[in-house]
Amino acid sequence: MKNRFKLEKGMFFEYLLATGLMLINIILASALPYFTKHKVYYDSTAYVVVILISYIIYLIRLFITKKKSVNDVAVVLFGFFILWETAYKSGWIHNDLLIPSPEGLFHVFVEKTPEILADVWGSVRLLFLGFLLAAVFGTLLGLLAGWIPRIREVLLPVSNVITLIPPLMFSAYLIMIFSTFRQAAVAVIFFAVFWPTFQGTVVRVGQIDRQIIEAAKTMGVGTVGMLTKVIFPYCLPGIIQSLSKSLRGAFMCLAGAEMLGINLGIGYFIEKYKSFADYRCVLAGIVTVGVITTVIDMIVNKAKNVLIKWEK
């Protein structure tokens, strides 16, 4: 237990450096005055809270993983915020419209908390529905196509063509087909996830050791049993592993689709404030997208570790 809180000598110096940069951030945010030509001033509380939360996350990851790269990321992050804060408050950056102060950016999350939460929840609901449908049907069809050559020979060439087309290009057409923008957004997510999932499953089925297949056949396993008890468990680790990339790509497509007309979602939030030329809120929306994709990636990886225990 004691070793968990010990660091190597080389890592300890970087830990002190990251801690020092974090403290400098807080001091600059609290004590450094704004450049006199700036027209807008914001309270630094939200920014300081973000710095402290980032530092806590850094400490947790550092002492759990003991990786030097965690120190490197913290040093770069806190160093970037020091440069941004100093450049803004000293007057090197004096365009309040396009480049807000760090305090101004993170104060958006205080001003518009209900709106951001509602938009994030709207995006997550659409993402979950479209992704779930695509993952289920893409996996089922991929298993069938991987096992039955005739289905594979028909669908695989079609998927090779469709996957070369960015899913967002279908959005303008899908909006005309479906009765609501939300249905069109779900369809965009479905296109973004379904075909890559289908192709990946077909490839994994083809990689199964033939001795496993022959052994199952000698035990009298039929087509349904082969797909559900042999092929699917074999392919499941690879399928779940690919879900992270598919899910992040699906969220990017959703955010793009929301910008085309859906009146709810983080993409809509960004597009709305872009039309108002409020780039402080636009940047806050972009930061929110980055946080969501990171959380999604962490959840999928955690689910993989929990569900696929036999790979460990």
Give the tens place of pLDDT for each residue, 46-61.
999 999 999 999 999 8
pLDDT of residue 209: 79
The reported pLDDT for the residue numbered 102 is: 92
Q: Report CA dihedral (250, 252, 256, 258) to the nearest 10 degrees.
A: 70
Task: Name the stretches of the chain with pLDDT < 50.
Answer: 1, 312
Distance in angstroms (rounded) separating the CA atoms of residues 308 and 241: 10
Within the chain, which residue ranges are assigned CATH 1.10.3720.10?
Answer: 113-311
Task: Say what the pLDDT of residue 260 is.
Answer: 66
Residues 96 and 203: their CA atoms lie apart, in Å, by 51
pLDDT at 262: 66
The domain over range 113-311 is classified in CATH as 1.10.3720.10? yes
Give me the pLDDT at residue 1, please: 46
| Cβ proximity of 89 and 71 under 8 Å | no
- Quote the pLDDT of residue 176: 79
R_g of the chain, CA atoms, integer Å: 24
Closest CA to 259 of 171, 186, 127: 171
